Structure formats: C-alpha cells, structure tokens
Amino acid sequence: MSSAHNPAVGNAKIVVVLGAGGFVGKNLMLRLAERPAEFHGIGLTRSTPSEVATRALVGGDVIINLAGVNRPQDDGDFLPGNAAPVEQIIAALSNAGRAVPVIHISSSRAVDGTPYGMSKLAAEQMMLAFAG
C-alpha cells in the first residue's frame, strides 16, 4: 500500500530498497531514516521471505534495486543472482498492475564481456524491456 493510503507513514514516501544488506544499501537506509517526514525506507535482503518482499514492492512509492551478486563461488551464479531481483520486481508490479518509479543500479562493467558484466547487462535489458 503506497504512502497515500498508509496512515502509518503519513506523507512520507515509501522507498523499497532491494540489496539493503550491502554496503550502499545499508548507507542508503541510514540516510532515509534521517528524514522520516519525507521517507519511509523498507529494506529487502536475500533473506527476506518472497511474500514479504512482494508486499513491500507492491506497496512502495519508489523502488531502488541495489541487489546483486558480485563474488559468487561459481561464475554460473552471476546470472541468476543479478537477474532474480529484477524478475522479482517485474513479477510483483506486473501482477499487481502497479506502475511505480524503479531506480535500477547496474555496473560500469556491464559492457566488459565478463560473466559478471554479462549478467548485469542482462538485468539492465530486462528492466528496460519492462519499462517499455
């Protein structure tokens, strides 16, 4: 439920942050918490149950995707690790018929042809196709 319909957050914008457990995500959550009249941050991590994450995504006013994998044990884990958060966003918003701003953070390495870069590029392409 967006902030327009959620009296618990007043007029604050609900900002859903995927990757809230990472370095950038933790710091973003701290900054959002410093401005409670403007923002209500909801942090999602790999351990967030799927149904909880879906409710948060559908209820957000804006989604920031910082999630991804950059040091897996196997190169084959790059693509699912970097595509899964995008797939989760797309499924949640599509199924709910919601259109909200999504800020997708990728990598400058998305063009370098490495397994990591190719996985980040694939996630970018999925997000761009969803945006239309």
Positive or negative, the CA dihedral 115, 89, 61, 125 is positive
pLDDT band at residue 10 using 50, 70 and 90 as cut-offs: confident
For 85-127, what is each residue's pLDDT tens digit?
999 999 999 999 999 999 999 999 999 999 999 999 999 999 9
Contact 99, 119 (CB under 8 A): no
Tell me the C-alpha distance between 122 and 131, whole Å: 14
List, by residue number, the catalytic residues.
Answer: 116
What 3-state DSSP class applies to 84? helix
Instruction: Single out the residue of 28, 24, 102, 32 nearest to residue 70, CA to CA.
Output: 24
